[in-house]
Structure 1
Amino acid sequence: MPTYKRFILAAVTLFITINLEAQITTSSISGRMTDMNKKPIIGATILAIHELSGTRYGTVTNIDGRYTLQGMRAGGPYKILVSYIGMKPSETKGIMLQLGETFRHNVKLAELSEQLNEVVITGKAGVDATKTGAAMNISSTEINRMPSISHSIADVTRLNPQVRVANTGAMYFAGVNNRYNSFQIDGAMNNDAYGLTANGSNGGQAGTQPVSMETIEQIQVNTAPFDVRQSGFTGGAINAITKSGTNEFHGTIYGFGNNQHLIGSKYRMINGKNSEKYRDQSEYQAGVTLGGPMIKNKLFFFANYEKANKTYQNPYAINSFASLIDAATANNILDKLREMAIQQEVTYNGELNSTDVYAKSDKAGLKLNWNINDKHKASIRWSLVSARQMNSASSAAVLNSSDFSYDFVSKTNSFTAELQSRFSDQWSNEFRISYVRVRDERQPGAPFPMIEIGNVGNGTLHLGNDRSSMENSLNQDIWSFTDNLTWYTGRHAFTFGTHNEFYKFSNLFIQDAYGSYFFSSPDDFYAGKIKQYRFAQANVDVTGTPRWAAAFGAGQLGFYAQDNFNVTGHLDLTLGVRMDIPLFFDTPAENVSFNEFAASKGWHYKTNSRLSSAPMFSPRFGFRWNMDGAGKYILRGGAGVFTGRIPFVWLSNNFSGTGIQLSSYIASTSSSNPDATKDLSFILNLSKQTQNVEKLTASGSQTINIFDKDFKFTQNLRLNLGFDFTLGGINWTAEAIFSKSLNDILYQNPIVDLTGKTLGETFPSLQFDQRPMLSKIEGANTYSGVYVLTNTNKGYTYNLSLQGMKKFDFGLDVTASYAYTKSKAQNDCTGSVAQTNWQYNYTTGNPNDPELANSIFNVPHNIRVAAFYTKKWKTNHSTVIGLIYNGSSGIPYSVYYYGDLNGDSGYNDLMYIPTDAEADQMNFTATSGYTAEEQKTNFKAWLANEDYLKNHRGEYCQRNGANEKFEHHFDLHLSHTISFVTSKRTYGLEFSLDIVNIGNMLNKKWGRTYESGGTYTPVTYKGEGNFQFLHDADYTMHSYSDYYSRWRGQAGVRFTF
């Protein structure tokens, strides 16, 4: 039996279970019962009833008159009945519970001779008197009124001042890498544990969401929770629970859709011209939900099915107005490639004409809730998400051939079971088990080498297969188990728990399996002057198969203890400590040759090192002080350590990159080796790529990935201080969050080191550029790179925000916030491959000790304003209008050279911004399109006009040192519901229209979104101190997104019963 299975079996058997994140799926009620003289009432009976399902939760008060009800369904409405012999019973109705929070309900009981009226909670909003750290709860009602056409969780989290949502659906908490987030649905892990998706959840690469929004009951967004049960993230945590059945049958039938007629026809482009009309597109999303009783008050179900389909023409196809590619040059290159293919007796069928892009998905789910008795409640949920999307369509600055695109196919099955138990008035328990099965695969076009050609107009041309899709599939199996035992005594609620996760991965990933060729320009392509060549293959003698997959298992055990201490009626303290133990069940293969080389250098690196399972401790402290006793002024916050995980793809690199099962080769021209590719041939026949490999083996080009033996999972120290107060009839929240990296990620390549010389010393024409030069160390010629996964404690983020909320009696809700974020990092780690994370961590110094700089997630200013107005017309009509404004700084970007300037074999050299006098000293290499003097003249004119560069002449560009311009976006939601009431049931028919970026509808200059990947490479380094600037004098790096710069609408209809 495999090791990881033994661990699972032992954990289940011992009932010590496991779920690293242990996020909350329920709510609680607590309080104190006193008489009219404020003396505690001992033994009073508390009964809370979920009115829609009849679910009952009961207990009695302790010696201090206190009580707690845990494990309750979030939502409501609830009614609470309080009784005691000789006292007048109390009944409170209309209580709604927020996910993961404790509702405070204190009651004074009068003697039977006194008269007390029934209390009804109206739901009027006030200061949230329950949360300790920075958190936000979102109900299904709020979800339904939010403007959205993607129907994603990301859309509804954007009102949180700590969260920035990208167009891809990625969510960044307080400037932290989105891969460090946690995302759970009903307690089951649904974030992308392997770390490949942009939106951070399973199915993201196939363009789908992990759950249908029609099934969501509540969402909790946490940035700094000081409850030790919540872990597994150093960014933020998103915790969603789905709807459950009740004693009445309820359901929805819904559909949403749009086409090109609901997309703006024009926006003003960078060049001042209006865009063309958007091309044809069609999108729909339709589904059904049904919930109800199987046994009244006892057993309930909730089921759903949803289908979505989107098809659109690529807006950046060749000859399109939005493309920066020179169409004539691209077509000439294609013709030349076909001619060369025929000469080599192969066929190339790739096209540059427009190809429709599509995304399809199916979602299904079933949830059962069982009220076993008043003391035990159980639930089971299964869900399926199956999706397919065509990826790698062209962008403004990149034109991809039809065979470069690939289908991404994803299927996720998840299962969760939960048991909530109350053994006595002092002891309760929560047990949860979940299993998630993910199967992902890339399906590329007909096998062919990848060819990349730069400076085709103002962009890059790709022909052949995407180098990362040639052999690429991933299987994930993730088990998690949680058990929390809580003991209530006096003013204390002690929690003792364990949460552990076990992972099994199998990743077939052979990047460059058909060979990849890079050319700096069309002239270099025609001349066969290769700038870089890459190839990888499985060593069949070792693996037994050419399609070898790296398989490994891992886990993480979590144990914790916590005390929730109600010091007084107005002060609550949370003190806890958590211990997480990473587990690694497999060891990468031994590479004897490399291990001997590493030992000769005094390094403690081995390919067959297994990571340490040393415990990682996370102490936390939180407080909440109700300063005036009435909830108008609440000071809260805390300090604690948060332990996360890392994307497991970064660990997988070390299983596939030992140099034993796979051999990876690279040859790249650089300052230290300008002739690295001179002897290579441009081979299009897949079976003959080994001819280049033989030459590479002779010169040395192996790539090795290894661990630092002391490598640890990510961990940070987070401080939070919040002040919730009411002023001028407005509920305000002032929040400050500071995070300091304790263990973050850093990649190093020890086979390159400083030479002691600078670039200016090496090339006299570049005396103004004093960046250090590097070269391979002695004896390292066998390797193209040795990439070490290690840690750094450099880096920090902070977020300061102010938010105001006001609910008016006439149906208007308004929220406004401003947030300032600062995020610094040593390595952004935006890639999935070790070499990428080192090679593209831009620097002007030593790439093995990069400077602390702005992170790619640093978007300083964010302003959000939301207004929702609900109007009821007569008895059966209601209208909802929602308007959201989002203003924010643009995303950061870096400007660097295309080429290796400092001799480290990485394309990571930030550009020096010369003065005119310094630019005159530079040498430019002529092409068929531009003379050397024309390039120099155009270069100086461009520097004088580019905003960031013209203000930093004579300086180096900083990593992520500039941000795109401030953006403004307005989104609108309109819906009208007609209700039909019969003697037994109420039906509703809702018509809706959502328009995002509605500002573009009013003015073609409004709402424009920059198209940026965070990097620009306007200048090519040709080696030997020579450059190329293959652009006109009026060149601009920036462009607007053709899709996101337009207004987009979606019409919908929903029938409820």
Structure 2
Amino acid sequence: GVAPISLDAIEQIQVNIAPFDVRQGNFTGAGVNTVTRSGTNQFNGSAYYFLRNQRYVGRQAGANAFNPGTFDFAQVGARLGGPLIKDKLFFFASYEEDKQTQPGILRTANPGGAAVTGNMTRVLQSDLTGLTTFLRDRFKYETGPYTGYDNETPSQRLLSRFDYNLNDKNKFSLRFTALNSNTDVNLSTSSSLGFGRANNNTFLSFQNSNYQIQENIRSVVGEWNSLFGDRMANNFIIGYTSQDESRQSRGSIFPFVDILQDGTAYTSFGFEPFTPNNELRYKSFQIQNNLTVSRDKHEFTLGGSFEKYRSENVFFPGSQSSYVYNSLADFYTDANDYLANPNRTTSPVTLRRFQVRWANIPGQEKPIQPLEVMYGGIYLQDEYRASDNLRFTAGLRMDVPVFGETGFTNAQANGYTFRDENGNAVQYQTQKLPDANLLWSPRLGFNWDVTGDQKTQIRGGTGVFTGRPAYVWISNQIGNNGVLTGFESVDNVRNRPFNPNPNAYKPATVNGTPAAQYELALTDPTFKFPQIWRSNIAVDRRLFWGLNATAEFLYSKDVNGVYYIDANLAAPTGAFVGPDNRPRYSDTCPASGLQVRLNCNVQNAIVLKNQDVGSAWNASFALERGFRSGFFAKAAYNYGMSRNTVDPGSIAAGSFTGNPMVRDANNPGVGISGTAAGHRFFVTASYERRYFDFGKTGISFYFEGRNAGNTSYTFSGDLNGDGIANNELIYVAKDRAEMNFEAYTPTGGRLFSVAEQQDAWEAFINQDKYLSSRRGQYAERGAVFLPMVYNADVSITQDIFARLGGQKNTLQLRFDILNFGNLLNDNWGQGLRLINTRPLVARGADANGKALYRMANLNPTTLLSKSFERTAGTGDVWRMQLGLRYLFN
């Protein structure tokens, strides 16, 4: 997202991962507290301009050329603060505006015969230009370009603040912030609608299938600080925030179409699947009060917080209709058949998938999902000074969320019997949101100055932290209940021939009763807000030569973690034969085109539940030293690992279907989370040199090495037949005897024999460090870590001082180089990316019941041969930024 407040308006940022102060709540990851600047008795301010564009960007990343296209960033801003009434009333204001333009896509279409490597895709130019022409000429639909287009992010930020000293016992401040922004975002890769697109060089789509997301925020916060005698103080905060995160599309309304080639995504066009009428607006009113009383060695705090939240969400994916074809030729055949006979009812080809969603309540074209939550908390804390060098903080926080009754009742679904993750029969109520639950957060922290001279300090604590979930997880239930909307999803059918009218297969009339087909998002009635138990211990030590060292260890364990099940998923009916013996599923609803469903008119019933199996730990070590000469240096190393059962996203169905697993999607097991940090180390150094009273030069250097992320190796397609594509972790054959390939000839290519694929897969496993370690085993979720990436940044500032009218004035020139190593050497500062996270294409079972598959190809004549490759992206080349800033006082 876009930062809502300008960095120039911020006095201090506090990032708290394990604060054992119970006043800080409502997070399980990290709490971020921003302290903005305020006015003083002296006027002060600044004005600045920063610029970078394609002239200040590298053109080479190793052997790969980089074409930055339009690469532009311009930022202008100013701030001013001072007194309105000396010693009494002060003001501060900040305004900033920036616009960022960068290439929307770096990959290019294949002219034919070019090697599929780097940014070159397998997708043929002739196919894409032919599609553009065909859709324009025959359907009046504009795809937009498939390469060479830009993504833009314009934004404007405003902050104003007033501070009023009523008297020496009472101070009041009022702050207003505003953000207007919208960001171009590329087509979603989610498989919860369509068949899932790929973010690699096997796939390329068009600009008009992308979307824009808004971030428009208005916030007002008031704060009153009071003193009562020498022992009592009170802090009262009241605030209101409104936010609009609605989406817009670059293209006109048109059905969304996925085109496959050899079983994997090849190209897509049409209206972005999750953008039709996608609107999210929410408002929040907050109050917090803290009363602090000092007595002897104790400082007691009694406080409370309250939030009233309301959102209105319109989430209508698939309302434009979604078609999936097994090949581009199949689409042309179906589209031309429509042009010849628009009233036909049968397609000449079998569609891989068709989906459509419709508003199911008369007169409600936009199915609004209202959500109301009241979230209150109270807490009590004692900060106890046991001695001059030992302090304890003990507290208890209690939070209670209460949901408004805004759900919709589907009596039909309420009567259905579903199946939970243990195979037990269970029923749900579509209108039932989570019950009010009292959430306890006890915490204990300490700080011990061991020798009393601040040479050795030991600090830490343990406690429970409660966080507010993404409320869209809950509002999914309000929007997916079979009453507000209907949803049809059918596979391998001919009775849904292509029609350019998005409404062609929606019911002619609706009456508010349950739709003929629908999907459900449900919340377990006992669902509790996320909670973790977190402990940490740290040692700060002053060493020889002026060195300061820090060692810290942090461990977190889920108390109320989050995961999903599909309660409408039928039990497996068998298992594969051989070393890969995972369960298999059979069609239970062939008449409706749905697979393995308990209730055939329900596409899925995704239930949000709690689990306590997730955990995370992090260890860090740091050394730093400052010098009187103006030199400062710091080095640090960090390693982090986190495990859970799912990385939840904004869509319940997408979170479930996109979760890699082996045997049972309802019991995926614990895997490595997508936020696992892995290894990271950095070295930073800075030096400042003053020149009497007329100038100062500063130079800083930052070098970092880090894991570039992690992912999973899964099959392309649906191996086990549960109706979910691209989510099954692969089995890594122990040897050739365990492999079971199917010979095939790709579109426009040559035959890949079984023996050739065996040889290629054996070589692929041998060159992949992770796969080599998993011989005879299944791949694990999130266990494929990308290689380390190393970057260096350099910044130089030159300050020129002058006194004008008795005030200090500074003109600052700034010069930043990001990825400085690439400027020195084209081969430095580059990362590696995975060529394909789905190296095997699922083909179901062979005649003997063994898992059958094909090896993925790079192009019609070449099989996949290596895991990683270097590409030329924005982060792989050096970028330069120039800045000019004027400051006074």
Task: Please give the TM-score of this superposition, normalised by the length of structure 1.
Answer: 0.75
Quote the residue 1:1027 is aligned against.
853
2:106–2:147 CA contact under 8 A, matched in 1: no
Quote the residue 2:876 is aligned against.
1045
2:483–2:515 CA contact under 8 A, matched in 1: no
Residue 769 of structure 2 is aligned to residue 769 of structure 1? no
d(CA) in 1 for partners of 2:662 and 2:271? Answer: 33
d(CA) in 2 for partners of 1:265 and 1:882? Answer: 25
Alpha-carbon distance, 1:221 to partner:
1.1
Quote the residue 1:629 is aligned against.
452
Q: Over residues 356-389 of structure 1, what are the superposed CA-to-partner deviations in whole Å (9 max), with x where a residue is unaligned?
A: 2211111111100111111011100001110122
Quote the residue 1:160 is aligned against.
none
d(CA) in 1 for partners of 2:514 and 2:16? Answer: 54
Q: Over residues 805-835 of structure 1, what are the superposed CA-to-partner deviations in whole Å (9 max), with x where a residue is unaligned?
A: 2111111111111111121111121x21111
Alpha-carbon distance, 1:337 to partner:
7.2
Quote the residue 1:384 is aligned against.
178
Matches within 5 A, 1:645-660: 645-660=468-483
Quote the residue 1:671 is aligned against.
none
d(CA) in 2 for partners of 1:973 and 1:410? Answer: 30
1:279–1:315 CA contact under 8 A, matched in 2: no
d(CA) in 2 for partners of 1:759 and 1:966? Answer: 37
1:419 maps to amino acid = W
Quote the residue 1:332 is aligned against.
127
Q: Over residues 416-466 of structure 1, what are the superposed CA-to-partner deviations in whole Å (9 max), with x where a residue is unaligned?
A: 100000011111100001111111221111001112234599974221111
CA separation of 1:691 and 1:418: change in aligned 2, threshold 3 A:
closer
2:306 maps to amino acid = N
d(CA) in 2 for partners of 1:442 and 1:423? Answer: 50
Quote the residue 2:300 is aligned against.
494
Residue 63 of structure 2 is aligned to residue 236 of structure 1? no
2:863 maps to amino acid = A
Residue 588 of structure 2 is aligned to residue 732 of structure 1? no
Alpha-carbon distance, 1:948 to partner:
2.6
d(CA) in 1 for partners of 2:321 and 2:52? Answer: 41
Question: Any gaps of 5 or more consecutive residues in structure 2?
Answer: 111-116, 189-198, 334-348, 589-595, 847-851
Which of residues 824, 836, 854 is equivalent to 1:1002? 824
Residue 751 of structure 2 is aligned to residue 931 of structure 1? yes
Q: Find the residue that maps to 1:384 and give its secondary structure.
A: strand
d(CA) in 2 for partners of 1:599 and 1:917? Answer: 42
Quote the residue 1:868 is aligned against.
686
Q: Find the residue that maps to 2:875 and give its secondary structure.
A: coil
Q: Over residues 761-798 of structure 1, what are the superposed CA-to-partner deviations in whole Å (9 max), with x where a residue is unaligned?
A: xxxxxx22111224566742222211000011011001
2:584 maps to amino acid = M
Which of residues 615, 624, 638 is equivalent to 1:819? 638
The more displaced of 450-459 and 409-418 is 450-459
Residue 98 of structure 2 is aligned to residue 308 of structure 1? yes
Alpha-carbon distance, 1:957 to partner:
1.2
CA separation of 1:331 and 1:653: change in aligned 2, threshold 3 A:
farther
2:561–2:612 CA contact under 8 A, matched in 1: yes
CA separation of 1:1007 and 1:296: change in aligned 2, threshold 3 A:
same
Quote the residue 1:843 is aligned against.
661
Residue 208 of structure 2 is aligned to residue 403 of structure 1? yes
Quote the residue 2:793 is aligned against.
971
1:287 maps to amino acid = G
Quote the residue 2:708 is aligned against.
890
Q: Find the residue that maps to 1:809 and give its secondary structure.
A: coil
1:784 maps to amino acid = Q
2:580 maps to amino acid = D
d(CA) in 2 for partners of 1:677 and 1:803? Answer: 61
d(CA) in 2 for partners of 1:261 and 1:470? Answer: 38
d(CA) in 2 for partners of 1:659 and 1:468? Answer: 18
Alpha-carbon distance, 1:949 to partner:
2.4
1:754–1:773 CA contact under 8 A, matched in 2: no
Quote the residue 1:687 is aligned against.
503
d(CA) in 2 for partners of 1:645 and 1:975? Answer: 42
CA separation of 1:443 and 1:331: change in aligned 2, threshold 3 A:
farther
Matches within 5 A, 1:107-256: 204=1, 208-256=2-50
Q: Find the residue that maps to 2:258 and give its secondary structure.
A: strand
Alpha-carbon distance, 1:470 to partner:
1.8
Alpha-carbon distance, 1:1027 to partner:
3.2
Which of residues 209, 212, 232 is equivalent to 1:427? 232
Q: Over residues 830-880 of structure 1, what are the superposed CA-to-partner deviations in whole Å (9 max), with x where a residue is unaligned?
A: x21111111111111211111111111112211021111111122221111
d(CA) in 1 for partners of 2:752 and 2:162? Answer: 72
Matches within 5 A, 1:24-173: none
Residue 572 of structure 2 is aligned to residue 755 of structure 1? yes
Matches within 5 A, 1:845-860: 845-860=663-678
Q: Over residues 201-223 of structure 1, what are the superposed CA-to-partner deviations in whole Å (9 max), with x where a residue is unaligned?
A: xxx1xxx2111001010011111
Residue 565 of structure 2 is aligned to residue 718 of structure 1? no
1:350–1:463 CA contact under 8 A, matched in 2: no
1:404–1:464 CA contact under 8 A, matched in 2: yes
Quote the residue 1:26 is aligned against.
none
1:860 maps to amino acid = G
1:570 maps to amino acid = N
2:718 maps to amino acid = D
Q: Over residues 50-81 of structure 1, what are the superposed CA-to-partner deviations in whole Å (9 max), with x where a residue is unaligned?
A: xxxxxxxxxxxxxxxxxxxxxxxxxxxxxxxx
Quote the residue 1:290 is aligned against.
80
Quote the residue 1:537 is aligned against.
358
1:326 maps to amino acid = R
Alpha-carbon distance, 1:277 to partner:
3.7
Alpha-carbon distance, 1:347 to partner:
3.9
CA separation of 1:923 and 1:525: change in aligned 2, threshold 3 A:
farther
Quote the residue 2:219 is aligned against.
414
d(CA) in 1 for partners of 2:397 and 2:141? Answer: 60
1:562 maps to amino acid = Q
CA separation of 1:938 and 1:959: change in aligned 2, threshold 3 A:
same
Quote the residue 2:340 is aligned against.
none
d(CA) in 1 for partners of 2:311 and 2:158? Answer: 25
Quote the residue 2:119 is aligned against.
323
d(CA) in 1 for partners of 2:737 and 2:254? Answer: 44
2:857–2:863 CA contact under 8 A, matched in 1: no
2:787–2:831 CA contact under 8 A, matched in 1: no
1:645–1:713 CA contact under 8 A, matched in 2: yes
Alpha-carbon distance, 1:708 to partner:
0.6
1:997–1:1046 CA contact under 8 A, matched in 2: yes
Q: Find the residue that maps to 1:261 and give its secondary structure.
A: helix
d(CA) in 2 for partners of 1:859 and 1:783? Answer: 39
Q: Over residues 482-520 of structure 1, what are the superposed CA-to-partner deviations in whole Å (9 max), with x where a residue is unaligned?
A: 000011111111000001211110111101111122345
Matches within 5 A, 1:4-15: none
Residue 285 of structure 2 is aligned to residue 472 of structure 1? no
Quote the residue 2:376 is aligned against.
557
1:255–1:284 CA contact under 8 A, matched in 2: yes
Alpha-carbon distance, 1:254 to partner:
0.2
Alpha-carbon distance, 1:524 to partner:
5.6
2:214 maps to amino acid = V
d(CA) in 2 for partners of 1:560 and 1:554? Answer: 20
Which of residues 361, 383, 389 is equivalent to 2:155? 361
Quote the residue 2:628 is aligned against.
809
Percentage identity across paired residues of the two chains: 28
Quote the residue 2:290 is aligned against.
484
Alpha-carbon distance, 1:611 to partner:
1.1
Q: Over residues 155-182 of structure 1, what are the superposed CA-to-partner deviations in whole Å (9 max), with x where a residue is unaligned?
A: xxxxxxxxxxxxxxxxxxxxxxxxxxxx
Quote the residue 2:606 is aligned against.
787
1:665–1:693 CA contact under 8 A, matched in 2: no
The more displaced of 958-967 and 451-460 is 451-460
CA separation of 1:983 and 1:409: change in aligned 2, threshold 3 A:
closer
Question: Any gaps of 5 or more consecutive residues in structure 1?
Answer: 1-203, 669-675, 761-766
Quote the residue 1:267 is aligned against.
61
2:450–2:457 CA contact under 8 A, matched in 1: yes
